[in-house]
Structure 1
Amino acid sequence: MHRVLSIVTDYDRAAARDRVVLDADDRHRRRIVLTGEKGTQVLIDFPAPVAMRDGDGLVLDDGSIIAIAGAPEPLVEIAAPNAFETVRLAWHLGNRHTDVQIVGAKVRIRRDHVLEEMLRGLGAHLTPVEAAFDPEPASPHGHDHQHGHGHG
């Protein structure tokens, strides 16, 4: 079994030794054993969790690279008539701590009938899609629910 030394974004994808296909949750790991489509087994063992994105490469202890592909997931693509409305919709999603991916002028989220109903009520146009989900990384400060005001 090979050990992963680092993650790279710039590499020759055609020269990749193998490929692992992972959903968004499985691409955020500290430690895991992965098996590529050609059977290559690799160990990821980093001191802290890392976020791997669709298209990244895992550099192995022998110098070879395993490509990371995002597994298609059921998503909804959110469109609004203008930039202001897009920001307003994104604010509502962020206020609910929803993972979002920005794709051009649109926002993608995992399918969720409650959020979809809310977004339609706010005037969003929704299109179901199956695609790799690469949500924006979480803020580095963490979130401990201490906002300086009472929740009583």
Structure 2
Amino acid sequence: MIRATRILRRDTLSGGEIIDRVVLDHGDRHRRRIAMRGIGGLGFLLDLPAPAVLEDGDALVLDDGRLVWVEAAAERLLEIRAPNDLALKRLIWHIGNRHIPAEIGTDAIWIADDHVLATMVRGLGGTAAHVERPFQPEGGAYASSHEHGHHDHPHAAG
């Protein structure tokens, strides 16, 4: 079976033959070794030297040099907003206190859909709306520079 042994990050991606793509949710983008099948049917073994986060727009490099595009799948999330910056910061603190993955934007926070947290957010004066979009949460204090969310970038088409 053909193997993908390294990641070409989207900011260094230039040239190369993209032969297929994989569409993965947040949980499935944290990998080291797993059999995968692209949308176009290509079967391959992801075989990285260490666990890594696959980001939207990265490419997996196959043994023969060809590339498989990585696309972040749309997921059901809560988009959390607040009436002002201070209220948003308070909501970020409360969400962080629960140690759940969160994507933090300039005027919103996105978390996995959770009715208990939605109720908490509304009780603290925020809004929690259901949305479907790729989820790219912060990687945490000890994550490498490529293990964090990239905000406000376009997503690959087709």
Same fold (TM over 0.5): yes
* TM superposition outliers: structure 1 runs of 4+ over 3 Å: 12-15
Correspondence for 1:47 among 12, 30, 49: 49
The answer for unaligned runs of 5 or more in structure 1 is 142-152
Same amino acid, percent of matched pairs: 46
Taking structure 1 as the reference length, the TM-score comes to 0.84
1:82 shift after superposition:
2.0
Q: Which residue in 1 is equivalent to 2:147?
A: none
CA contact (8 A) 1:31 1:45 kept: yes
Q: Distance in 2 between matches of 1:127 and 1:13?
A: 39
Q: How does 1:64-79 map to 2 (within 5 A)?
A: 64-79=66-81
Q: Which residue in 1 is equivalent to 2:10?
A: 9
Q: Which residue in 2 is equivalent to 1:148?
A: none
1:21 shift after superposition:
0.8
Q: Distance in 1 between matches of 2:92 and 2:25?
A: 22
Q: Which residue in 1 is equivalent to 2:22?
A: 20
Once the two structures are overlaid, the 10-residue window that deviates more, 8-17 or 28-37, is 8-17
Q: Count residues with an aligned counterpart.
A: 141
Q: Which residue in 2 is equivalent to 1:116?
A: 118
What is the Cα-based RMSD across aligned positions, in Å? 1.9
Taking structure 2 as the reference length, the TM-score comes to 0.81
The answer for unaligned runs of 5 or more in structure 2 is 144-158
Correspondence for 1:105 among 104, 107, 119: 107
What are the Cα deviations for residues 46-87 of structure 1, in whole angstroms up to 9, with x where unaligned? 233111112211111211111111121110101112222211
